[in-house]
Amino acid sequence: MAELLDDALADLQRVLEGAVDAAVILDQNHRVLYRNSAYDAYTGKRPRDVGAAAAAGTPCHQLFNLEICAENCIMRRAVAAGKPLRMHEIHAKRGDGEDLTLIVTSTPLGSGLVLETYRDVTAESRVQRKYHALLARERGAKEDLERKVLERTEALRRAQDQLVLNEKMSSLGRLVAGIAHELNNPINFVYGNVDFLAQYFRHLINLIAIYESSPELSPEALRRAAEFKESIDFEFLMEDWERLLKSVRAGAERTAQIVAGLKAFSRPQVGKIEETDLIAGLETTLHLLQPLLRDRVTVHRHYAPLPRVRCRGGQVQQVFMNLLTNAAQAAGPGGEIFVTALPDAEGVRVSVRDTGPGVPAELTTKIFDPFFTTKDVGEGTGLGLAISQRIARSHGGRIELVAGEPGRGAEFIVWLPLEPPTEPVKEVQEGGAG
């Protein structure tokens, strides 16, 4: 029987010698009775050193470092179960420090002997890890893309209103210097005259104190009072203090008017539709543009009584701001602007005409295109007319360019209905006016 076993082992060893997988035959004390050449390569040690250690009875886990040897010996489990066991993704470390990933199979052979084989799947394991990492990355990218699409969709819902607000802020930015100058004068009225008022009232208080210090109003007291009244020019003081108060009040009212107009223009009013006085809106806009118009451009007004229009007042006022600003810049110093507001069958009609060079015929089809501008770099965004047209269309109206002869100026006409449409107006994608 022993001879048959020896013959079987000899045959098995010849088979294992040509195997690609590393293989060892162990006894129950974990001593290596046989190893093939592939096993020597796995250990990362010289075959002579491995053979010497095996001959000396060195346990297998000291020849080749497997992570399962310390806590969960597969050989013991296979012997206890009486059947082959296989474990995947086992980490091992060669003698030269290189990491390996193995499939370990332990097969009981009888008579206390066990055959263990080790298949190197390091490359495959790395590929799988990379594959799983790529899948995870792809899932993450897909989720991130879906999140960005949702965010972008939400952002697009606010984009038009935000664009309107941005253009409004751009218009305000161009007016800041002039508005600051406008505010400076009335503020100077207040601060400059308050000092005089304080001085006047101090004199009056001193005068009253003199009278109060002389209960019987002696001749001396009367003399002192008369001298003091003459020294402070009491008669002029009594006449001038009221005028000073009036100038202070006028300056404060002028400041309040400027600030109120600025606030009315800059308030977004994105979704608020209410009855609006368009003529008041035109006047507020012209008042805001005074620093740009004063001593440069003459404005002619022709207003007929207009019915109140239900609209988003802040947005319509921005349309006026864009058209009047463009007209002022086109007219230039010494130029003229004609502003007309009339009712008609469609609702109301507001016209802004300038005496500038006009719009060349080849540009009339592009004038309402976003980002198209004839101004120099840094002077315009090319969004004013595009946004104005969008605002007019959102109210059920439109803006038309009346192109006259070259050099005879340009006229923009804003048409608005008395009531905005109940359903959102579909944007018309076109380059020309109207």
On whether both 101 and 185 belong to a single domain, the answer is: no
Average pLDDT over residues 144-166: 77
On whether both 281 and 239 belong to a single domain, the answer is: no
Highest mean pLDDT: which range of 116-120, 249-253, 264-268, 279-283: 279-283
Residue scoring higher pLDDT (343 or 13): 343
**CA–CA separation, 152 vs 142, rounded Å?**
15
Residue scoring higher pLDDT (21 or 5): 21
Q: What strands, in cross-sheet order, belong to the sheet with 99-110?
A: 32-35, 22-26, 113-120, 99-110, 85-93, 65-66
On whether both 209 and 332 belong to a single domain, the answer is: no
pLDDT of 433 > 70? The answer is no
On whether both 70 and 119 belong to a single domain, the answer is: yes
Band of residue 14 on the pLDDT scale cut at 50, 70, 90: confident
Whole-number pLDDT of residue 417: 92
Whole-number pLDDT of residue 339: 94
Whole-number pLDDT of residue 92: 78
Tell me, yes or no, whether 46 lies in a domain. yes
At which of 217, 245, 264 does a domain end? 264
**CA–CA separation, 174 vs 167, rounded Å?**
11
On whether both 409 and 276 belong to a single domain, the answer is: yes
pLDDT of 382 > 70? The answer is no
Give the angle subtended at the CA of 266 by the CAs of 265 and 270, to the nearest 5°. 95
Tell me, yes or no, whether 391 lies in a domain. yes
Structural domain of residue 50, as residue ranges? Answer: 2-126
Residue scoring higher pLDDT (259 or 186): 186
Band of residue 168 on the pLDDT scale cut at 50, 70, 90: low
On whether both 326 and 226 belong to a single domain, the answer is: no
On whether both 235 and 297 belong to a single domain, the answer is: no
Tell me, yes or no, whether 152 lies in a domain. no
On whether both 50 and 82 belong to a single domain, the answer is: yes
Whole-number pLDDT of residue 101: 81
On whether both 95 and 31 belong to a single domain, the answer is: yes
Average pLDDT over residues 72-90: 80
pLDDT digits over 282-329, tens only?
998 888 888 878 778 899 999 999 999 998 888 888 899 889 988 888
Q: What percentage of the chain carries pLDDT values higher than 70?
A: 75
Tell me, yes or no, whether 178 lies in a domain. yes
At which of 206, 230, 264 does a domain end? 264
Among 134-143, 252-261, 334-343, name the one with the lowest average pLDDT.
252-261
On whether both 19 and 80 belong to a single domain, the answer is: yes
On whether both 192 and 314 belong to a single domain, the answer is: no
57 Ramachandran zone, left/alpha/beta (phi>0; psi -120 to 50):
left
Q: Which residues have CB under 8 Å from 30's CB, separation 6+?
A: 59, 60, 61, 75
CA distances from 390 to 12, 209, 257, 387 (A): 88, 70, 30, 5
Average pLDDT over residues 328-335: 87
Tell me, yes or no, whether 136 lies in a domain. no
SS3 (DSSP) at 25: strand
In this structure, how many other beta carbons lie within 10 angstroms of the beta carbon of residue 379?
10
Whole-number pLDDT of residue 65: 73
pLDDT of 377 > 60? The answer is no
Average pLDDT over residues 339-344: 92
Average pLDDT over residues 52-62: 74
The CATH number of whichever domain residue 291 belongs to comes to 3.30.565.10
Tell me, yes or no, whether 153 lies in a domain. no
Q: E-strand spans in 281-409? A: 297-303, 309-311, 335-344, 347-354, 398-403
Tell me, yes or no, whether 9 lies in a domain. yes
Q: Which residues have CB under 8 Å from 261's CB, separation 6+?
A: 284, 287, 288
HSE-CB of 345 using CA atoms within 13 angstroms: 0
Band of residue 340 on the pLDDT scale cut at 50, 70, 90: very high
**CA–CA separation, 212 vs 224, rounded Å?**
12
Among 162-166, 333-337, 382-386, name the one with the lowest average pLDDT.
162-166
**CA–CA separation, 409 vs 350, rounded Å?**
17
Residue scoring higher pLDDT (312 or 184): 312
Core vs surface per residue 397-433: b (16+ CB within 10 A) or e: bbbbbebeeeeebbbbbbbbebebeeeeeeeeeeeeb
Tell me, yes or no, whether 139 lies in a domain. no
Residue scoring higher pLDDT (381 or 71): 71
**242 residue type, one letter:** E
Band of residue 427 on the pLDDT scale cut at 50, 70, 90: very low
Task: Compute the mean pLDDT over every residue in the chain, rounded to the nearest whole number.
Answer: 76
Per the structure, the count of domains in the chain is 3
* Token pair listed for 323: 């058209």
Whole-number pLDDT of residue 2: 45
pLDDT of 227 > 60? The answer is yes
Average pLDDT over residues 368-381: 57
Full-model pTM: 0.44
195 touches 209 (CB < 8 A): no
Whole-number pLDDT of residue 303: 92
On whether both 233 and 296 belong to a single domain, the answer is: no
Highest mean pLDDT: which range of 25-29, 96-100, 373-377: 25-29
**304 residue type, one letter:** A
At which of 205, 230, 264 does a domain end? 264
Residue scoring higher pLDDT (321 or 253): 321
pLDDT of 280 > 70? The answer is yes
Residue scoring higher pLDDT (19 or 301): 301
